[in-house]
Chains A and B, each alone.
Chain A
Amino acid sequence: MKHEEKTHSVGYTVYIFVWLALVVLTSVTVVVAGVQLHQLAVAVAILIASVKSYLVMSYFMHLKYEPPLFKLMVAMLLVTFAIFIGLTFTDIIFRY
């Protein structure tokens, strides 16, 4: 029976709109890089990259349409990675 699981069909247009959004966000991040934002530059660049990754993972990688288990797994990965970053930078800050 398992080989007859239904696969969710999203439709070509949804993908093309997501692609358009990704291209627009790429242009935004290039234009914003030309503006002097000083401290904020890194934060803005990472924020835009995160939005782009969210779009790729939700739609292109189908995460939006997968069972909750997949979302939980990705959430666990992100939390793990956040802990790595947090602990590393806590160490760096108190060292220098």
Chain B
Amino acid sequence: MSNHSHAIVAHKHPSDFVGAKIGMWLFLFTEVLLFGGLFILYGVYRAKYPQEFHLAAAELDTFIGAINTLFLLTSSLTVVLSIESLQRGKRKLALWMLAITILFGLGFMVNKYFEWTAKIHHGIYPGSPELLNHSGGEIVFYNLYYTMTGLHGLHVLIGMGILAGMFYFIARRPRQKESLDLEALEKIRGNSRLVVLADNGNELGTISNLDDDVCFVDVQIYYEHGKERLDPRNLIKLENSGLYWHLVDVIWIFLFPLFYLIT
């Protein structure tokens, strides 16, 4: 009777990808309304001070703004190529595209840094003595400029962090965790060994010293990278991260002409 055994089958956990995507879109809606409120504020003050906004906007560097627009547009392309590559099982290409996306985000932030420091160097920042000498409309313009591009820059930083996290999830070894709690163990007490089976029935390992003192069993299985081992949950996570990154791009698509171009 010592050959009695009980098997754990390493199975895939079900997940609701459409639900996950709907959740992400709903979150993005709150972001749209957050920035939307600021855009309405911009619109109202622009209608009130057209001449001052005209003068102040001419002071912003259109060239840096245009370069940053290209950076974000191109990074939107690379993140979408990353998703497409992962869908086709090209894990390495997906990782490269993610890395390029993060680099474009970094380039955007470096440009922003130079842009802001140049303005601050000229004494133009919210509440500065220099700015307070300007007209009311120009003060409002620069306050909105710092608030909106600052909040947007924060989103770029968060997006870069999320994409870096995705890089880690896709780069690490595929793994699967199975747990047996006390209740599950009670059912198999008396068996001499516990066998871990893969989906295809291959025996992955055996636990033989399963005596009465054991109160839980955790089995962590690490796999080699392979097309059939791509975690489908990574794909939906990457798609949702991409959605966030694209929204940050869409917001910049409106910020760029409204602050840099309408002069």
Chain A interface (Cβ within 8 Å of chain B)?
A: 1-3, 5, 7, 9-12, 15-16, 18-19, 22-23, 26, 29-30, 33, 41-42, 45-46, 48-49, 52-53, 56-57, 59-62, 66-67, 69-70, 73-74, 77, 80-81, 84-85, 88-89, 92, 96
Contact = CB atoms under 8 A, between A and B. Distances in A.
A30 B40 contact: no
A82 to B, nearest CB: 10
B170 to A, nearest CB: 16
Contacts of A48: 257
A16 B232 CA distance: 25
Contact of A96 (B15, B17, B48, B232): B48
Interface in B16-48: 16-18, 21-22, 25-26, 29, 32-33, 36-37, 40, 43-44, 46-48
A56 B246 contact: yes
Nearest to A76: B29
Interface string B64-78: 001001100110110
B66 A26 contact: yes
B18 A5 contact: yes
A61 B246 contact: yes
Interface in B225-248: 232, 235, 239, 242-243, 246-247
Nearest to B29: A77
B258 interface: yes
Contacts of A85: 40, 43
Q: Categorize the interface residue count of chain B.
A: 35 or more
Interface of B: 12-18, 21-22, 25-26, 29, 32-33, 36-37, 40, 43-44, 46-48, 62, 66, 69-70, 73-74, 76-77, 79-81, 84, 87-88, 232, 235, 239, 242-243, 246-247, 249-250, 253-254, 256-258, 261-263
B36 A81 contact: yes
A30 B66 contact: yes
A30 B16 contact: no
A42 B261 CA distance: 9
Given A7-B87, A84-B40, A33 B17 contact: no
A3 B15 contact: yes
A11 B88 CA distance: 10
A60 B13 CA distance: 28
13 contacts: A2-B16, A9-B88, A15-B81, A19-B77, A26-B70, A30-B66, A33-B261, A45-B258, A45-B262, A48-B257, A49-B257, A56-B249, A89-B44
